[in-house]
Amino acid sequence: MTLPCIALFLFLATLPESVPPPDLPAQGQQAFDKQDYSQAEQIFGKLVAQDPHDYYSRFYLGLTQTALHKDAEAIEQFRETLKLKPGLKSE
C-alpha cells in the first residue's frame, strides 16, 4: 500500500458511520430566497418525487414554477397541495 492510500484509509476510518443527508428542504428554500428558481425547482421536484405527500415541497414547487412562468404546472402543484392539506387555505 502506498502512503496516500494509507492516509486515505485512516481518514475514512475516522468519519462517522453514517453521514446525514443534506437538508434538501432548507437548500430549496435558500435557492428560492436567492431567486435561483431553476435550482429551487430541481430541489423541490426531487423532494416531491421522493415523497408525493410532502405538501410543503409541493407548495414551494408551485411557487417556484410561478416565478418561472410555468403557470399550468404551478396550478397543478397548488391543487395537489390543497388535496394533501385542505386546511392550508384557511391558515
**For residue 22, is pLDDT > 60?**
yes
pLDDT, tens digit, 9 for 90 and up, residues 23-42: 999 999 999 999 999 999 99
Which amino acid would we find at residue 13?
Answer: A
DSSP string, 58-72: HHHHHHHHHHTT-HH
pLDDT per residue over 58-70, tens digit each?
Answer: 999 999 999 999 9
